[in-house]
Amino acid sequence: MADPTFDIVSKVDKMEADNALHQAQKEIAQRYDFKNVGAEVDWSGEKLLLKASSEDRVKAVLEVLEAKFIKRGISLRSLDSGDPYASGKEYRIDVSLKNGISSEDAKKISKLIRDEAPKSVKPQIQGDELRVTSKSRDDLQATMALLKGADLDVDLQFVNFR
């Protein structure tokens, strides 16, 4: 029988992100401090586009969006928001969702596993995810606990535990 494994991925559920966006749109439409400032948030391709008439208002829109993402269980580590920039008479912020683990982050995670996890655990980079193998299921669970406690720049999920 094959050794026990699990995969480390970083994915954002598109439907949950969409639900968080709709909740943010609803709150922005109802709040008094967003009246007559042109505040809105919407999808622009694969990114979210936040708009408002002033820089501080567009930052407030971003705070509302982040609060809704937290409420829906989506980590803020999976959001990549830029700085506010002027576009005509309004200010905008582009927010993209991070999907997949970049190669440099995968190398950091792999090195962390090799250095601090039990010696029987072997990480293997496969595209934008990592597969972790070991003879012992307990060692794999210890590795999961290690990664959950580590301060990484990526939101990690553990799937396909076999």
Confidence band, pLDDT 50/70/90 cuts, at residue 161 = confident
Average pLDDT, the chain: 91
DSSP letter string over 18-44? HHHHHHHHHHHHH-GGGTTTT-EEEEE
Question: Are 126 and 9 within 8 A, CB to CB?
Answer: no
Which CATH architecture describes the domain 14-97? 2-Layer Sandwich (3.30)
Q: What is the pLDDT of residue 1?
A: 60
Same fold, 5-11+101-159 and 14-97: yes
CA distance 24 to 71: 11
The domain segmentation of the chain, as residue ranges, is: 5-11+101-159, 14-97
pTM over 0.75: yes
Q: What is the pLDDT of residue 71?
A: 95
Instruction: Identify the pLDDT of residue 29.
Output: 93
Question: Which CATH number is 5-11+101-159 given?
Answer: 3.30.70.860
How confident is residue 134, by pLDDT bands cut at 50, 70 and 90? Answer: very high
Residue type at position 41: V
Q: Can you tell me the distance from the alpha carbon of 121 to that of 147, in angstroms, rounded to the nearest whole number?
A: 13
